[in-house]
Amino acid sequence: MFYYVYILQCNDQSYYIRCTENLEERLAAHNKGLVKSTKGKLPVNIVAYIAFREKAKAYQFEKYLKSGSGRAFRNKKANLAPIYVSIPPWHRTQTLSWKHPGRSHYHSLSGFP
């Protein structure tokens, strides 16, 4: 099972960050107007999602993305291209690595919470 941290960009250009166990179902709920926080900001577009095997790590990363340095990270990366990151089960450090679609280099983030 995976736990997903996802970032949506709302119609008013604001961001919505949350954690969920079922990304597909949660996105459908957003787009149907069933989520109070985004209901008045439709349509929403997914900017990024990150999959974690450990629930605690997912919630730590959600908290990080809502912090000052996390917002700076999100804003910098959100303007480049969609980010889709999966943490392999054997990956036990707090370093994330990802590659933007269509780019040849990798990025990394170390030491979140």
Residues 52-104 pLDDT 10s = 889 999 999 899 888 888 877 776 765 544 444 444 444 444 444 444 445 55
Domain extent for 26? 3-110
Partner residues linked to 32 by β-bridges? none
Tell me the torsion sign for CA atoms 102, 107, 14, 2: positive
As for how many domains the chain has, the answer is 1
Closest CA to 101 of 86, 71, 80: 80
* Alpha-carbon distances, residue 30 vs 2, 25, 37 (angstroms): 20, 9, 9
Token output for 50: 């990150």
Taking the complete model, does pTM exceed 0.85, yes or no?
no
Which residues 6+ apart lie within 8 Å of 38 measured at CB?
8, 10, 16, 30, 44
* Alpha-carbon distances, residue 43 vs 10, 33, 36, 38 (angstroms): 6, 9, 13, 9
- Supply the angle between the helices 55-65 and 68-78 in degrees, to the nearest 10: 90
- Model confidence at 38: pLDDT above 90: yes
| CATH at 13 | 3.40.1440
Question: In the prediction, which pLDDT does 89 show?
Answer: 45
Question: In the prediction, which pLDDT does 77 show?
Answer: 62
C-alpha angle 56-92-96 in degrees, rounded to nearest 5: 85
